[in-house]
Structure formats: C-alpha cells, structure tokens
Amino acid sequence: MIPLIYAHRGASGRHPENTMEAFHAARKRRADGIELDVQLSQDDKVVVIHDHRLERTTNGSGAIRDHTWEQLKKLRADKGHGHPQRNRPRRIPSLREVLHTFAPTSLRFCIELKNFFHPQPHLEESVIELIHRYDLAERTVVSSFNFNSLLTVKKLDPRIKTGLLYVGPLQHPWEVGAQYQADELHVPEDQLSPSLVAEAQANGFRVLGWTLDSASRIQAAAQMGVDGIITNYPGRARKALAQL
Ligand code: G3P
Ligand code: CA
C-alpha cells in the first residue's frame, strides 16, 4: 500500500508555510493532502498559522489572539521567502478560505488544533462547523497535542477522524490513542519503527509519520508500512515512493 502524502504546512520546504501559495504548490506536486495549523483570532475567526505570535512568519508582531481577522488578513506571511510565485496570496489564510478553495478537489486535510500551550475556547466547534459546511468529514483528520481536545472533537462528531499527535516517547501509544478515542497515531520520525507500526495497526490505528523530508527516510517509512507521511517536500516524497 502506498502511504498518503500530506504536505506539512503546505509545500513549506519551498513556499511560505501555511499560505495559499504553499497549499496550491502541494496539490501541484501531487500531495494527497495538506497539513495545516489553526488557532483563533481575537474575534474568533479560525486562522491558519503555526506560531502563537506573528514575528517568525509575518511582518506583524504580537500574539495572534490579540489581533482581529481584519488586522491579520492584511499582513504578509512570507517572511524569509523570495519572489511570489504566480501571484498566489501569501497572507494568513482563514480555514474557511482553504476549505472553500480545495473542497471541490480531492485533496485531504489534516487540521492541527494549536491549543496545547494556549487555550482556544471552542476552537473544536468552530473547526467542525467548517468541516460540515464544506462536507469534508470523510477526507479530514483533526490532530492535536492536546489530547482532551481530540475527545471533544469525537463528542461533537464521532465521524470525524482524529490523530493523536505526540513528541515525547510513548511506550504504548496505541493505549493512549484508545484512551482518547483517536483513529490515528501521528508519530515523530525518530520514533517510527517496524514494530511500532505493526503493533499500532494491529490495535486498529492508522499511522502517520512526521516530518519526513529525505527520500531515504520516506522510503524507509513506506517499507515499515505507514499509512501516511507528513513532509515539507511532497514532490520529493512522490518521487521517492514511485521508486519503490
Ligand atoms: O503534523 C505534525 C506536525 O505538524 C506537528 O508539529 O510543530 O510542525 O506543528 P508542528
Ligand atoms: Ca502542524
């Protein structure tokens, strides 16, 4: 089975992360899906950005939560990147804009709730409402480092798949996954092993590895039998998998 390729923050190896440009590029490079990070603006709009502050990726400053959507959407989100490609927007997108744009395609979505360090009241409800609005429950997984949030998602709509996203080693991640009713385990690259993949799958979980960027590691993960690969370089991943 060929694993699914999810472009991490879009095709962020070559494009500004979490922008429409990076998401369009991911599709062009034949990713099956995009991974994107979401949080709330001051006025509770679901916005697509990784950090809790603006400085690293935009020309703004301060916390996302201290800015309204009107303010956020005017910022440039391409800090550290060169020329724009084909005038694709390089702003902070809203989740609505991303789903509206790609709902008519076959692209999948891995929506990561960025609510581990900073509480985001009702982020789960807002995200699910958008998934429903665009009828995307079948091709979306919601992930988070905040495991309680995954339970909230399941409570709101058991049809929506959830991914237990973790960093530190978990001895039996499938046990934690079961405790939080997750469907998938999103396993850091350094913890992937054939036995972990086999045991997780035997316990009913799909396994996605993150973040895999070299061709050899992508191929090794595929040979372990992972169900999906999260990568900054979807084009490279597609080529690496074709060579197996
Ligand atoms: O999906 C895995 C990955 O996105 C989690 O880490 O920090 O890149 O959001 P981060
Ligand atoms: Ca992420």
Ligand 1: which atom is nearest the Cα of residue 6? 1
Buried b (16+ CB within 10 A) or exposed e, 55-88: eebbebeeebeebebeebbebbbbbebeeebeee
Q: Which helix (H) or strand (E) holds 5?
A: strand 4-8
pLDDT of res. 23: 97
pLDDT of res. 140: 98
pLDDT of res. 88: 61
Look at ligand 1, atom 4, and give the residue with the nearest C-alpha: 8
Give residues with Cβ within 8 angstroms of 155, minimum separation 6: none
Instruction: Write the burial class of residue 145 (CB in 10 Å: 0-12 exposed, 13-18 middle, 19+ buried).
Output: middle
pLDDT of res. 84: 57
Mutate to test the pocket of ligand 1, among 114, 145, 211, 231 (most ligand atoms within 8 A of CB): 211
Buried b (16+ CB within 10 A) or exposed e, 91-114: bbbbbbbbbebbbeeebbbbbbbb
- For the chain, 244 residues long, the average pLDDT of each consecutive 10-residue run is 97 96 97 98 98 96 98 92 65 98 98 95 97 98 98 98 95 97 98 98 98 98 98 98 97
The count of structural domains within the chain is: 1
What's the gap in Å between 132 CA and the centre of ligand 2?
Answer: 21
Spatial CA neighbour of 93 closest among 32, 196, 15: 15
Residues with CB under 6 A from ligand 1: 8, 35, 37, 50, 112, 143, 165, 186, 210, 230
Long-range contacts of 133-137 (CB under 8 A, 24+ apart): 133/96, 133/99, 134/99, 134/100, 134/103, 135/103, 136/99, 136/103, 136/109
Residue whose pair of structure tokens reads 């902070």 in the numeric block? 92
> CA–CA separation, 231 vs 222, rounded Å?
13
Residue 199 DSSP SS3: helix
Ligand nearest the Cα of residue 52 is: 1
Ligand nearest the Cα of residue 166 is: 1
Please state the φ and ψ torsions of residue 194, each to the nearest 5 degrees: -55, -40
Q: What percent of the chain has pLDDT over 90?
A: 93
8 in active site: yes
ipTM of the complex: 0.98
The catalytic position among 24, 50, 52, 122 is 50
pLDDT tens-digit readout, 56-76: 999 999 999 999 999 999 999
81 in active site: no
State the Cα torsion 72-11-216-210 to the nearest 10°: 40
Residue 224 DSSP SS3: helix
The catalytic position among 8, 24, 67, 186 is 8
Around ion ligand 2, residues with a beta carbon closer than 5 Å are 37, 112
pLDDT of res. 168: 86
What's the gap in Å between 223 CA and the centre of ligand 2?
Answer: 24
What's the gap in Å between 165 CA and the centre of ligand 2?
Answer: 9
Residue whose pair of structure tokens reads 């084009």 in the numeric block? 235
Mutate to test the pocket of ligand 1, among 18, 39, 50 (most ligand atoms within 8 A of CB): 50
Please state the φ and ψ torsions of residue 195, each to the nearest 5 degrees: -70, -40
Domain with 72, as residue range(s), is: 4-242
> CA–CA separation, 146 vs 134, rounded Å?
25
Question: What CATH number did the domain enclosing 174 receive?
Answer: 3.20.20.190
What's the gap in Å between 217 CA and the centre of ligand 2?
Answer: 19
